[in-house]
């Protein structure tokens, strides 16, 4: 996730979904995996003089850590280390999942874009194998939630194929008889370019 996008309509949907799922499943803790890649901010020009955008302004309006200050009965914890090395980051995520003080809970994966596409994938994506490994690190009763951004702009269906990809990744070692169905949460009237997939670890 990029801090420059924090606080837009997608965050209204995101945190609305997360709090409702936490309440519906009686899970008092959310661990948000940020996949944080800090933004580079443009400068101000004041009377011909170039100045950086003040840090306190950025922190007030665009700090992804600010969500921890939200008034709620649900405790929110972040993995906010920078996402640079995929393997190291995956190890950190699995360790933080296993070392939570409160579980079962909600584990929310929040990449820039979502699951890897066919072909080229970058740091804005989560690889299928990474999702499989994170699913394997969860404890029974955990609810896994995954952020998925719209994958195309040509009006072709995108939610159902990505939900199928999500299901395949979390069922990679379960076998057909133990198939887990992913579920969908979204708010097309607020932000029609994002969806959230979720499933409960049995």
The domain in which residue 40 lies consists of 3-200
The β-bridge partners of 196 are 147, 185
Mean pLDDT of 44-50: 83
CATH code assigned at 12: 3.40.50
Q: How many domains does the chain have?
A: 1
Mean pLDDT of 42-56: 80
For 4-8, 24-28, 139-143, 188-192, which range has the lowest pLDDT when averaged over its residues? 4-8
- pLDDT band of 154, cuts 50, 70, 90: confident
pLDDT score of 180 = 78
């Amino acid at each position: 996730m990029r801090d420059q996008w924090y606080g837009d309509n997608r965050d209204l949907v995101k945190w609305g979904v997360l709090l409702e799922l936490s309440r519906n499943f009686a899970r008092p803790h959310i661990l948000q995996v940020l996949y944080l890649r800090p933004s580079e901010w443009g400068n101000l020009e004041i009377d011909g003089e170039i100045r950086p955008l003040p840090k306190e302004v950025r922190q007030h309006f665009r700090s992804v850590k600010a969500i921890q200050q939200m008034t709620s009965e649900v405790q929110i914890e972040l993995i906010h280390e920078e996402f640079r090395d995929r393997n190291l980051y995956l190890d950190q995520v699995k360790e933080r999942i296993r070392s939570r003080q409160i579980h079962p809970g909600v584990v929310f994966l929040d990449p820039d874009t979502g699951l890897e596409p066919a072909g080229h994938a970058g740091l804005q994506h989560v690889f299928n194998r990474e999702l499989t490994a994170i699913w394997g690190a969860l404890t029974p009763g955990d609810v896994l939630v995954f952020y998925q951004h719209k994958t195309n702009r040509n009006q072709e269906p995108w939610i159902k194929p990505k939900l199928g990809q999500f299901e395949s990744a979390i069922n990679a070692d379960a076998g057909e008889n133990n198939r887990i169905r992913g579920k969908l949460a979204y708010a097309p009237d607020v932000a029609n370019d994002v969806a959230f997939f979720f499933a409960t670890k049995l």
